[in-house]
Amino acid sequence: MTLVRRALATLAGATALVLLASGPAVATAGPPPTSMASLGDSITRGFNACGWYSDCTSRSFSTGDYTSVNSHYLRIRAVEPAIQGRNHNDAKTGAKSADMYGQAGSAVSQGVQYVTMLIGANDACTGSESSMTAVTTFRANIDSALNRIRAGLPDARVAVLSIPDIQRLWSVGKGSSSARTAWSLFGICQSMLANPTSTSQADVDRRARVRQRVVDYNTQLAQACAAYGPNCDFDDNAVFNYPFSLSQVSSWDYFHPNSSGQAVLASISYAAGFGW
C-alpha cells in the first residue's frame, strides 16, 4: 500500500506540475486574415500624422496603406493578398472606452477576421485628474466590447494593445517650449501635462497618479483579453514600454504620433501579436 500511495503521490505531483506549466491560454494565430477592422481613438485614426488637426487614416498603424508606416494591414497583405481593400478603420477621434461597444458593433457588421483595439488614452488624458475614467468602469466598457466581438465574430482574432506611457510624453516634451505652448493652448491632456515644468510635490504626485491610472487600465486590458480566450492577444505592454522620442510625435500638437511614430507603433504592436 505504501508503494501504491507513493506512486499516486508522484503521479499527482507530476500532473500538478504539468497544469502549472501550462498557464493561461496562449493566443493562436491561425491563417492570416482576409479582412480586418481597427477600433480606437485619434491615434488609430492617424490624427495629425499628415494634416493640420485632421484624421489621416492612410497612416494608421493598424489599417492604413501608407507604405512607410507599414501597418498591420500592409504586413498581412504581404502574405495574404486577399485582404486587399478589406481594411476598415472604425476608430473615432476623441473616443473613450465607453465607445468601444459601438465600434465593436461596426466590426461585427463588417464580418472581419481580425480586430485591433487601442483605447484608453482619452480615459486618462482629461481636463483634470478628477475626471479620469474609473478603473472599474473602464474594465466594464472593455468587457462589453470584447463580448460583442466574441458573440458576433467567434472566430476572429483580436489584438489588444496597451496604452502608451503618457508620462513619457511629459518627460520628453517638458523641455520644449513649442510642446509646452501646444499643450497649454489646446488644453491637451491636462490631467498629466498641466504645469509641465513644475517640480512641486503636488504636481509630481499628480503625474504619478495619472501614470498609475494608465498602468491600471493596461492591467485590465490584459486581464480582459486573457478572459476572452485564445483568440485574443495582449501586447504584454510593448506599446506602453516603448521609449518613444519627441521626434516621433506631431509637431502640431506634441501629442499624437506622426508618420514616424505610427511606423514604430505598427512595428512593435505587430511583433507582439499573432505573427502572421
Reported pTM? 0.89
Cell of 123: 480615459
Residue 73 has pLDDT above 80, yes or no: yes
Q: What is the pLDDT of residue 26?
A: 56
19 domain-assigned = no
162 domain-assigned = yes
User: Taking residues 21-38, what's their average pLDDT?
Assistant: 75
Provide the 8-state DSSP code for 89.
E
Q: What is the pLDDT of residue 22?
A: 35
Mean residue pLDDT across the chain: 91
Q: What is the pLDDT of residue 212?
A: 98
Domain of residue 154: give its range: 31-271
Q: What is the pLDDT of residue 28?
A: 75
Residue with the three cell numbers 473615432: 92
Q: What is the pLDDT of residue 211?
A: 98
Cβ atoms of 207 and 247 closer than 8 Å: no
16 domain-assigned = no
Q: What is the pLDDT of residue 105?
A: 98
Q: Report d(CA 139, CA 133) in Å as an integer.
A: 10
Q: Report d(CA 199, CA 195) in Å as an integer.
A: 9
pLDDT digits (tens, 9 = 90+) for 190-231: 999 999 999 999 999 999 999 999 999 999 999 999 999 999
Domain of 267: which CATH number? 3.40.50.1110
Percent of the chain with pLDDT over 70: 91
198 domain-assigned = yes
1 domain-assigned = no
Q: What is the pLDDT of residue 240?
A: 98
Measured in degrees and rounded to the nearest 5, phi and psi for residue 150 equal: -60, -40
184: left (phi over 0), alpha (psi -120 to 50) or beta: alpha
Q: What is the pLDDT of residue 6?
A: 37
pLDDT digits (tens, 9 = 90+) for 111-163: 999 999 999 999 999 999 999 999 999 999 999 999 999 999 999 999 999 99
Q: What is the pLDDT of residue 51?
A: 84
The per-residue DSSP string of 100-151 comes to HHHHHHHHHHHT-SEEEEE--HHHHSSSSGGGSPPHHHHHHHHHHHHHHHHH
Residue 176, number of CB atoms within 10 A of its CB: 16
The dihedral sign for the CA sequence 265, 268, 272, 276? positive
The per-residue DSSP string of 18-58 comes to HHHHH-SPPP---SPPS-EEEEESTTTTTTTSSSTTS--GG
| Total domain count, the chain | 1
10 domain-assigned = no
Estimate the share of the chain in helix, then strand, then coil, as percent rounded to the nearest 5.
50, 10, 40
Q: Report d(CA 173, CA 200) in Å as an integer.
A: 18
Q: What is the pLDDT of residue 23?
A: 37
21 domain-assigned = no
188 domain-assigned = yes
